[in-house]
Structure 1
């Protein structure tokens, strides 16, 4: 994909935006410094129509006399509770906080896009709504923005977003029609038994033994309750219980994540987890309490919008495989047609190979220009008949 000269000229400023924002990472719904930086930068471009949402979120609006759709472009703005080890000169100034998922790059892309629109109003058609969304990493800022009315207020018809992705080489634009990222949820199983001395197990009900059986039993769901043609993940990453090595514990807690590419499969998971955990616990004279936190939905890309992206990306486009990662952009797609795509940042020669959420994540800001170019070209492409 060729980067046009007027977009290539944004590199220095986009680099500054990214590196400035990288130094002030903030967790979800606490992005006060980030919001002020974004607001001040938009003001420096002369953007008149900027609205504050949820205290730390922003919406910037560009309007044109040209007939066109109302398109929204979304960036996430929050960071992660990660201690940075990237070694960059512009490292995080907030201890234990880092932009380890590329959101600093997403914001810099959006600011570069906003600057381009400010300097090239002739490229605007209809109404463009730029959404700076807090709390993607949790607790789901997209839903909060929806509930605040950002789509309804401006009559948004379609929404576009992107994510930097270290599994694709620099210069690659990757996407997939339909389900590209998974629906996800969290499950907590509390196993209640009866405490006893370890030397007298017959006087208790062993919650650890029951919990172990539950974990083993739940992993049969994937192989025996789902079609071999369906994909799902169930992972328990935390287990806690017990007070001493010679005491049978009366309570054990399991915490895990569950993911699937369809609501049908996801609902089967929840139903079987509840049934199996409850019944297996009974077999050990225990009882299980099962709770779910249903989080994000399937990132389900609109087919016509993906075709538009393929057209603008040209030979830079590749078809992405589906990923079990989750994204709250999917909540916007529950409301209106949406397009979410990946921008490659991997460069093995420069050691830009670390995965998302890594404390060592690094990338070259030049890759952000590809995102800006796609955004600019999608304005025209999505306003063509049938798009």
Structure 2
């Protein structure tokens, strides 16, 4: 069994959530200890390792370590040993490939064209560990000139790497709309202010707005939850809509925010309800640096990543690194598997992970 597979299966057994990763960090530290690298933790539940090859600049590789609050249902003989947690998004594979690359880099220090910085981060699934790590100034301190990350991806050809210049993952904002009316018995409906009807009106106008937006990249706005009222024979006095907005360009996100707030004011004026619209900060869009993409494509030749036809509407906090230095986010196909975040998600690690590592090695050695 290749080391990368051993790393992955060991990590798969000990999934942990958010920024509470003591077992995971201990495992990563233990693996790095034999590679003769400077290992440290700039933020809680992170592990970073720096390999000094005596060069003027550095290449960084990011791996996310956190798992999901999912009860595993794969039946694997190395299934999660932590109840209620599972590496259902493949972060165990991402981390395993980075560890295998670190082992390779340490053994070839003299051949490396750049110093190497490994960033094992927490909280990708929750609060954006990438932003916290970037805020320590680590990329600037170690003179990172480029940053790469690889993520396992279902429904793409098994073992093949995909990429595209420009947008590859969407900006994500959680949208919450609170409407406050006046509840009365339906026999006196004219004396009430119907927050349910106002919520429905807001929903329809918001959807029409999203459909009419101009732009090359798609915009998706959907509300997955609507809670309103108390009983069937009383006018609702309160409605809460919860949804998500996905965009790619900052201009599109700003326009959507403006229009959602305007719709709120319109519905409030027409219905008499109080309307509050809130958008979370979310993650910026993952936007692959066009110049770096062309350089990698030309430099790798026949081993270049396959072109990804269109960006995905999922979100990723790798975008925070890309706002500091040029970066590329790659997708590693795992074939026809259950979707990410599924309790049945699993893949052929003995085929997929070694091929991912080989691609990362070529990136590492690229001039």
State the TM-score bracket (shorter-chain normalisation): over 0.9
Deviation at 1:308, TM superposition (A): 4.0
- How is 1:307-386 mapped onto 2 (pairs within 5 angstroms)? 307-310=294-297, 311-312=299-300, 314=302, 317-320=305-308, 321-346=310-335, 348=336, 353-365=337-349, 366-381=351-366, 383=367
1:101 to 80, 89, 92: 89
1:291-347 C-alpha deviation (Å, 9 max, x unpaired): 11021112111123223443437257321121111111011111110011111111x
1:187-234 Cα deviation digits (max 9, x unpaired): 11000111111332112111111111110110011222x116441000
Instruction: Note the residue ranges of structure 2 that are not aligned, 5 or more in a row.
Output: none
Give the aligned partner of residue 30 of structure 1: 20
1:231 and 2:218 are equivalent in the alignment: yes
Contact 2:57 2:143 in 1 (8 A): no
* Aligned counterpart for 1:247 among listed residues 223, 234, 239: 234
1:203 aligns with 2:191: yes
Q: CA separation in 1, counterparts of 2:215 and 2:99? A: 44
Match for residue 19 of structure 1 among 9, 32, 39: 9
Greater Cα shift, 362-371 or 76-85: 362-371
Confirm or deny that 1:111 pairs with 2:131. Answer: no
Alpha-carbon RMSD across the aligned residues, in angstroms, is: 1.7
Q: SS of 1:252's equivalent?
A: strand
TM-score by length of 2: 0.95
Residue 241 of structure 1: CA displacement? Answer: 2.5
Give 2:152's aligned residue: 164
Q: Structure 1-normalised TM-score?
A: 0.90
Task: Compare 315-324 and 186-195 and name the one that shifted more.
Answer: 315-324
Partners of 1:81 and 1:130 in 2: CA distance: 26
Counterpart-to-counterpart distance in 1, 2:153 and 2:302: 19
Structure 1 residue 263 and structure 2 residue 250: aligned?
A: yes
Does residue 154 of the first structure (1) align with residue 138 of the second (2)? no
Q: Deviations over 1:166-192 (max 9, x none)?
A: 121112110001111111111110001
Aligned to 1:6: none
In structure 2, the partner of 1:279 is 266
Counterparts of 1:76 and 1:137, CA distance in 2? 9
1:27 Cα deviation after fit: 1.2
1:139 corresponds, among 112, 121, 127, to 127
Structure 2 SS opposite 1:322 = coil
The match for 1:92 among 80, 92, 100 is 80
| Distance in 1 between residues matched to 2:329 and 2:215, nearest whole Å | 27
SS of equivalent to 2:154: strand
- Pick which of 251-260 and 11-20 moved more: 11-20
Query: Contact 2:159/2:356 (CA < 8 Å) preserved in 1?
Result: no
In structure 1, what is the Cα distance between the partners aligned to 2:154 and 2:92?
Answer: 15
Task: Please give the secondary structure, in 2, of the residue aligned with 1:167.
Answer: coil
For the residue of structure 1 that corresponds to 2:280, the secondary structure is: strand
Structure 1 gaps, min length 5? 1-10
Q: CA deviation at 1:357?
A: 1.2
Task: Tell me if the contact between 2:89 and 2:341 (Cα under 8 Å) persists in the aligned partners.
Answer: yes
Is 1:62 matched with 2:51?
Answer: yes
Aligned length: 364
C-alpha distance in structure 2 between counterparts of 1:309 and 1:361, whole Å? 31
Structure 1 equivalent of residue 290 of structure 2: 303
| Contact preservation (8 Å) 2:159, 2:353 | no
CA distance in 2 between counterparts of 1:316 and 1:358 reads 30
List per-residue Cα deviations over 1:230-254 (Å, max 9, x = no partner).
4100011112222222222211111
Q: Distance in 2 between matches of 1:313 and 1:42?
A: 31
| 1:24/1:94 contact within 8 Å kept | yes
